[in-house]
A = this chain, B = another copy of it.
Amino acid sequence: MEMTRSGKRALAAALAALLASGAAWSADPPPKPSVADVLKMSKPSDWRPLDPDNTLYMEIPTGRVVIELAPVFAPNHAKNIKALVREHYFDGLAIIRSQDNWVVQWGEPDDVKTPRPIKTAQQTLKAEFTVPRANDKHFVQLKDKDGYAPQVGHSDGFPVGHDPKTGEAWLAHCYGMVGVGRDNDADSGGGTSLYAVIGHAPRHLDRNITVVGRVVAGMPLLSVLPRGTGPMGFYDKPEQYVPIKSIKVAADVPEAERSHLEVMRSEAPIYQAVIEAQRNRGGPWTKVPAGYIDLCNAPIPVRERK
């Protein structure tokens, strides 16, 4: 449905000009590169490997879902979730909810008779809805704004919101973001119930839930799960549950069995070219470039290690 083509030479010149200037992309020729064009020009130093100690592998019958935790934004929850994982809390539990255009959720069913015991981890933690902006040292602000946060941008590959007035920073609920389910009490979550966004970004959840990371690979394994027919998309028949074989911390998995993924450094200059290629799409297909990008339409590129 979308195609972009550009003369390789003109593209290289255009991209070089952009990276040199660091300025906004010219609306005139030389031709604007596509995101794919920009990625082809990236250097190895533009990418970072996932940190094995903050990467989770969730193994379900259809394959592996790779989740990168964001300890900068939810330090205690990231630590607690790794503790739960390392005591095998999730192994043998299931995905229990799939609500269309909303979330897929996993953990222990609400109606379980004897709750699975927790050994070393905590059942609940104080909410980490936001952190002090000062903690977010890698924030790169988008030039575009939205109505959900005074400032939006990226930090180490995560979509984030900032409020200079309150001094808060938080992870934004974009597609693939992973959050901590809770009850009405803000401090009633701890990581035993997690969800991933599978639809249009529910940004109104920002600052109301502790967000702990994002799915960097395997979203299609979650997004296609049959929708639950119970209230809020919960599976109302246990046979509908999607079993979780295991969730492991990548660092605990033998090197040969790891997923070797790299995330584009959102603080790298080339990422500005990626954003601009999305704000004003090049190529013969686009007739009216948007001249704008919504935070959740700017996912950070992920690739297999070269």
Contacts and interface: CB of A to CB of B under 8 A. Distances in A.
A201 B200 contact: yes
Nearest to A292: B147
A20 interface: no
A200 B200 contact: yes
Interface stretch (A118-126, A216-224, A244-252, A261-269): A216-224
A174 interface: yes
B219 A100 contact: yes
A232 B182 CA distance: 36
Contacts of A204: 278, 281, 289-290, 292-293, 297
Nearest to A229: B220
How many copies of this chain sit in the oligomeric assembly? 2
Contacts of A21: none
Contacts of A195: 1
A30 interface: no
A109 interface: no
Nearest to A3: B184
A64 B175 CA distance: 27
A148 B293 CA distance: 8
Given A199-B175, A223-B100, A292-B147, A1 B181 contact: yes
Contacts of A293: 147, 204
Contacts of A145: 147
Interface string A154-183: 000000000000000000001110000110
Given A1-B103, A200-B201, A227 B232 contact: no
A126 to B, nearest CB: 13
Most chain B beta-carbon contacts within 10 A, residue among A219, A223, A226:
A223
A294 B147 contact: yes
B144 A208 contact: no
Contacts of A292: 147-148, 204
Nearest to A204: B290
Contacts of A201: 200, 294, 297
Nearest to A184: B284
6 contacts: A145-B147, A146-B147, A201-B294, A208-B287, A224-B224, A224-B227
Interface of A: 1-3, 100-101, 103, 105, 129, 144-148, 174-176, 181-182, 184, 186, 195, 199-204, 206-209, 219-220, 223-227, 232, 278, 281, 284-290, 292-294, 296-297
